[in-house]
Amino acid sequence: MNLDFSPEENAFRQQVRAFIKDNYPPELRAAQDSGEPLTRELYLAWHKVLAKKGWVAPSWPKEFGGTDWTPTQKYIWSEESAAAETLPPLPFGVNMLAPVVYTFGTEEQKAKFLPGIYNGEVWWCQGYSEPGAGSDLASLKTKAERVTADDGKEYYIVNGQKTWTTLGQFADWGFFLVRTDPDAKPQAGISFLLIDMKSPGVSVRPIITLEGGHEVNDVFLDNVKVPVENRIFHENQGWTCAKALLAHERSGIAGVARSKRNLEKLRQIATTERSDAGGSLLSDAFFRRKVAELEIDLTALEFTELRTLAGESSGKGPGPESSILKIKGTEIQQRLQELALEAVGHYGAPFLRDLGHNAGVGPDYAEGLAGDMFNGRKTSIYGGSNEIQRNIIAKMVLGL
Ligand SMILES: Cc1cc2nc3c(=O)[nH]c(=O)nc-3n(C[C@H](O)[C@H](O)[C@H](O)COP(=O)(O)OP(=O)(O)OC[C@H]3O[C@@H](n4cnc5c(N)ncnc54)[C@H](O)[C@@H]3O)c2cc1C
């Protein structure tokens, strides 16, 4: 899509581009290029640079550290970040928890938790899903009983299991949904608790995903003692926070700028690869049609995202339209991964994480495509599955 940018906006783009070029940590770039699993320090390296610059949380209100950028500046920022293939700050603290803290938290909670999120000093994980509570999240069973301890202070004693906890192996703290009133209607008896992952009784066990990575975990909570002041918002009203957080989570999943970048890469691959007829794969009518359909869908999604961004800048939080962004964004990401693998054909097959590379078989650009494709199946499941998003659209947008 061609947008007209003002001279100031073009200058901003140059400033962003130069900043990324001059400051992106070389050790992170090298690790990304090698495809090796990232360490905790590397995950946080770019986050910390952005925090010093004041650019880590463009969507936060200015008073808490937001950049006060216009929707167009935010758009330019995401385009330039995608073009430079930077590793975005982890979403759990910056995009998911922080809006809950500055919207529903007390002044003490804002002062205590927002700086650590902003500076990348505290790593957060999300403890929502349970083995029996995914799509039907409100049926969660992890229990928190309120007690007064010998020191006279009030605590919750938390027992239960969370699952699919992304990067929980690195987390310092987690935000958890727990049941504080077992007798109330499912949504009405839930509270939103912040739990120090180093508390006695918290244990984390890896789940290994399809492509061999350790990205998700089971988290067990066994008589974990949590001070009552770590609860955000009122007791039994955590569902309000949970829903607000999910809307922020979903709009972040769309990944339009990164899909545009990946579409460009797909074109390059398809220009190099040969079709059965002898020309480039991109000159093959069937393949070109699939690429064109993707591009049309991506452009339409880009307009929808810009509308959402414009709405947010006029004070409107992300609403049910974030479900549309989530569905279309993740479908496009998955189609891009499938087409890239289709383009390299059997050269995609030798990918094995244990080998760490294609062992010299096939072109460099084939490396990692099979792993990306397998790993990318998750995007239509997490953040609320795409089937559930369709239910939300039916109810909240179409009024069915
Ligand atoms: C890689 C990955 C990372 C994740 N990270 C986290 C995390 O950090 N923290 C966290 O809390 N959770 C996380 N999740 C969990 C995620 O939110 C859940 O997997 C998701 O909500 C689906 O729940 P479920 O897996 O229990 O599937 P289920 O709810 O059992 O659903 C199974 C299937 O049935 C369909 N289905 C269920 N109900 C309906 C319905 N009413 N109408 C139509 N179709 C329906 C679903 O769409 C799905 O296809 C992660 C998941 C993955 C895969």
Contact 256, 329 (CB under 8 A): yes
Beta carbon of 174 within 6 Å of any ligand 1 atom: no
Please report the pLDDT score of residue 313 as a whole number. 66
380-390 pLDDT tens trace: 999 899 999 99
Beta carbon of 382 within 6 Å of any ligand 1 atom: yes
Lookup result for tokens 């899903």: 129
C-alpha–C-alpha distance, residues 352 and 370, integer Å: 9
Please report the pLDDT score of residue 3 as a whole number. 67
Q: Is the pLDDT of residue 358 over 60?
A: no
Q: What is the DSSP string of 53-81?
A: HT-S-TTS-GGGT-----HHHHHHHHHHH
**Candidate CATH numbers 3.40.50.460, 3.40.50.2000, 2.40.110.10, 2.40.50.100; the one for domain 124-236:** 2.40.110.10
The secondary structure element, H or E, covering residue 226 is strand 214-227
Mutate to test the pocket of ligand 1, among 90, 92, 97, 135 (most ligand atoms within 8 A of CB): 135
Percent of the chain with pLDDT over 90: 78
Distance in Å, CA 243 to ligand 1 centroid: 15
Q: Which of 131, 115, 119 is nearest to 165 (CA)?
A: 131
Beta carbon of 129 within 6 Å of any ligand 1 atom: yes
Please report the pLDDT score of residue 103 as a whole number. 96
Residue 63 burial (10 A CB sphere; 0-12, 13-18, 19+): exposed
337-352 pLDDT tens trace: 999 999 998 888 765 5
Please report the pLDDT score of residue 366 as a whole number. 86
Beta carbon of 216 within 6 Å of any ligand 1 atom: yes
Please report the pLDDT score of residue 319 as a whole number. 76
Q: Is the pLDDT of residue 205 over 90?
A: yes
Please report the pLDDT score of residue 354 as a whole number. 55
Structure tokens at 61: 């209100």
Q: Is the pLDDT of residue 186 over 80?
A: yes
**Candidate CATH numbers 2.60.120.10, 1.10.3720.10, 3.30.530.20, 1.20.140.10; the one for domain 254-397:** 1.20.140.10
107-118 pLDDT tens trace: 999 999 999 999
251-282 pLDDT tens trace: 678 899 999 999 999 999 999 999 988 999 99
Nearest-10 crossing angle of helices 256-272, 321-344: 20
Please report the pLDDT score of residue 373 as a whole number. 92
Q: Is the pLDDT of residue 244 over 90?
A: no
C-alpha–C-alpha distance, residues 298 and 285, integer Å: 20
* 237-262: average pLDDT: 87
Ligand 1 atom closest to Cα of 127? Answer: 11
284-328 pLDDT tens trace: 999 999 999 999 999 999 998 888 877 776 777 677 878 999 999
Please report the pLDDT score of residue 99 as a whole number. 95
C-alpha–C-alpha distance, residues 49 and 34, integer Å: 22
Please report the pLDDT score of residue 115 as a whole number. 98
Q: Is the pLDDT of residue 43 over 80?
A: yes
Distance in Å, CA 77 to ligand 1 centroid: 31
Was domain 7-89 assigned CATH 1.10.10.10? no
125-141 pLDDT tens trace: 999 999 999 999 999 99
Structure tokens at 350: 């030798």
User: ∠ at Cα 63 (177, 21), nearest 5°?
Assistant: 90
Within 8 A by CB and 6+ apart from 84, the residues are 17, 20, 21, 24
Distance in Å, CA 246 to ligand 1 centroid: 13
Q: Is the pLDDT of residue 371 over 90?
A: no
Q: Is the pLDDT of residue 353 over 60?
A: no
* Beta bridge pairs of residue 154: 148
Distance in Å, CA 132 to ligand 1 centroid: 10
Please report the pLDDT score of residue 327 as a whole number. 96
Cα Rg of the chain, angstroms: 22
Question: Domain coordinates of the chain in residue numbers?
Answer: 7-89, 124-236, 254-397
Burial 110-119 (b: 16+ CB within 10 A, else e): beebbeebbb
- Is the pTM for the entire model greater than 0.75? yes
Please report the pLDDT score of residue 251 as a whole number. 67
SS3 state of residue 350: coil
Beta carbon of 387 within 6 Å of any ligand 1 atom: yes
Please report the pLDDT score of residue 320 as a whole number. 80
Q: Which of 314, 321, 334, 315 is nearest to 255 (CA)?
A: 334
Beta carbon of 164 within 6 Å of any ligand 1 atom: yes
- Amino acid at position 311, single letter: G
Per-chain mean pLDDT for the chain? 92
pLDDT band at 359 (very low <50, low <70, confident <90, very high): low
Please report the pLDDT score of residue 351 as a whole number. 58
Q: Is the pLDDT of residue 225 over 80?
A: yes
35: left (phi over 0), alpha (psi -120 to 50) or beta: left
